[in-house]
Amino acid sequence: MSARAGTWVADADSSGVRLDRFLAERMPGQSRSQIQNWIRQGHATVDGAAVKTGHRVREGERVTLELPPPPEPGLFPEAIPLDILFEDDDLVVLNKPAGLVCHSGAGVRSGTLVNALLHHLGTLEAGDPERPGIVHRLDKMTSGVMLAAKNPSAHRALSDQFKNREVRKHYVALVHSSPRAPRATITSGIGRDPRNRKRMSSRARHRRPAITHYEVREDFGFAALLEVRIETGRTHQIRVHLAESGHPVVGDAVYGGNRTADLPPAVVPAAAGLGRPFLHSARLELAHPRSGAPLSFAAPLPGELERFLSLVRKERRPGKGRREIA
């Protein structure tokens, strides 16, 4: 049995034992705190479902631990172009392109934003050594405004702002069909989908609070352009909330399914070739980590989204148009 994975069936003697203790007894040499971290990260499941560290196993339950390969040591700089919107001694704000991964992970050690920042800055020692400078993330295929901290004090101050929901995060999303309400708030908690570990879901057993507000800016009949603001920052939050409300983001193959048939024939080929969700981080508003001065940063839609939106506007259904929201 690999040190990185294992499956055990709980016997009568183990019934009632906490999951972290159950695993610690079967993995000598691993600390209890490390095992608890693995459980929180979803690497341990009971009968195929993620559970909390305090779960007490019952006789006959099948406990599985599957860990990713250990990370390769060290990060290195790479000459990856960055679109810098603002930079000072404490932070750097950039317009992230779709396709750029924020930091290394399972199977990814190069070509990330962290690699690019190391090349741009020379050194970066702030926060987690595996993802230095990163205080928030955008999905790989989401573009737009993102920031990174350049020193530990800035990292702490910015992380606190995100944690305390003091950063205002505005996105633009094009979704399938027209929401009935001109504005709405979605509050479904989000957790790891027990049936597909690469997806998130509001139907997960263990969910974290998530709050998404949206307003319809343009209604095309077959689609709608939304301004979205999130108070929390859960993985895939906007994509999950909009998809589960019946309006998946156009181009989202993970949560949107095959919805191109809902689009006008003239739009279908462009939608199939978009290659990314129509989701863009348009604006961030926060306080400077050192001075506390208010800051606001904006990034325009990238060219591929602007061109697609122009095509969508040409196919607008009669009686549909822009909505002015008070």
Do 96 and 190 fall into the same domain? no
230 and 189 in a common domain: yes
DSSP string, 66-120: E-PPPPPS----------EEEE-SSEEEEEEPTT-BSS-BTTB-SSBHHHHHHHH
Within this chain, do residues 109 and 177 fall inside the same structural domain, yes or no?
no
Instruction: Quote the domain boundaries for residue 45.
Output: 5-66
Q: What is the pLDDT of residues 305-322, one digit of tens each?
A: 999 999 999 998 876 666
Identify the residue with better confidence: 275 or 41. Answer: 275
Residue 158 and residue 177 in one domain: no
Same domain, yes or no: 89 and 50? no
Question: How would DSSP label each residue in 249-307?
Answer: BTT-TTTS-S-GGGS-TTTHHHHHT--S-SEEEEEEEEE-TTT--EEEEE-PPPHHHHH
Of 42, 198, 195, nearest to 107 by C-alpha is 198
Strand order in the sheet with 49-50: 5-9, 62-66, 44-46, 49-50
Nearest alpha carbon to residue 5 among 52, 70, 73: 70
Same domain, 204 and 221: yes
* Same domain as 183, residue 99: no
Pick the last residue of a domain from 120, 148, 163.
Answer: 163
Rounded distance between C-alpha atoms, residue 191 and residue 237, angstroms: 10
Report the CATH number that the domain containing residue 10 is assigned in CATH.
3.10.290.10
Name 90's Cβ contacts closer than 8 Å, sequence gap at least 6.
149, 150, 151, 153, 154, 288, 289, 290
Which of 127, 143, 163 finishes a domain?
163
pLDDT surpassing 60 at residue 198 = yes
> What angle is formed at CA 188 by the lines to CA 63 and CA 96, rounded to 5 degrees?
90
Residue type, 197: R
CB 312 within 8 A of CB 223: yes
Does the pLDDT at position 1 exceed 50? Answer: no
Does any domain span residue 303? no
pLDDT, tens digit, for every residue of 20-49?
889 888 887 777 778 888 888 888 899 988
The mean pLDDT value of the chain amounts to: 88
Residue 321 included in any domain: no
76 falls within a domain: no
In a domain, 304, yes or no: no
The answer to whether residues 192 and 280 belong to one domain is yes
* Separation CA 158–CA 166 (nearest Å): 10
Q: What is the structure's pLDDT at 325?
A: 44
> Of 137-141, 213-217, 264-268, 317-321, which has the strongest mean pLDDT?
213-217
Question: What is the Cα–Cα distance from 127 to 138, expressed in whole angstroms?
Answer: 17
- Give the CA-trace dihedral at 195, 200, 205, 210, to 10 degrees: -170
Distance CA 61, CA 186 (A): 35
On whether the CB atoms of residues 135 and 127 are closer than 8 A, the answer is: yes
pTM: 0.74
| Same-domain pairing of 201 and 109 | no
Question: Is residue 302 situated within a structural domain?
Answer: no
Q: Nearest to residue 95, comparing CAs of 104, 85, 110?
A: 85
What's CA 322's distance to the chain center, in Å?
Answer: 29
End-to-end Cα distance, the chain: 62
**Mean pLDDT of all residues in 54-71:** 83
Both 111 and 130 in one domain: the answer is yes
Considering the domain boundaries, does residue 298 fall inside one? Answer: no
**Residue 131 lies inside a defined structural domain of this protein:** yes
Mark whether 149 and 233 lie in a shared domain: no
CATH number of the domain that 183 lies in?
3.30.2350.10
Question: For residue 265, what are its two tokens?
Answer: 């024939």
Residues marked active site are found at: 139
Distance CA 12, CA 86 (A): 61
Number of domains in the chain: 3
Domain end call among 66, 93, 112: 66
Do 179 and 240 reside in the same domain of the chain? yes
**Is a pLDDT exceeding 60 seen at residue 3?**
no
Greater confidence (29 vs 266) lies with 266
Residue 133 pLDDT exceeds 80: yes
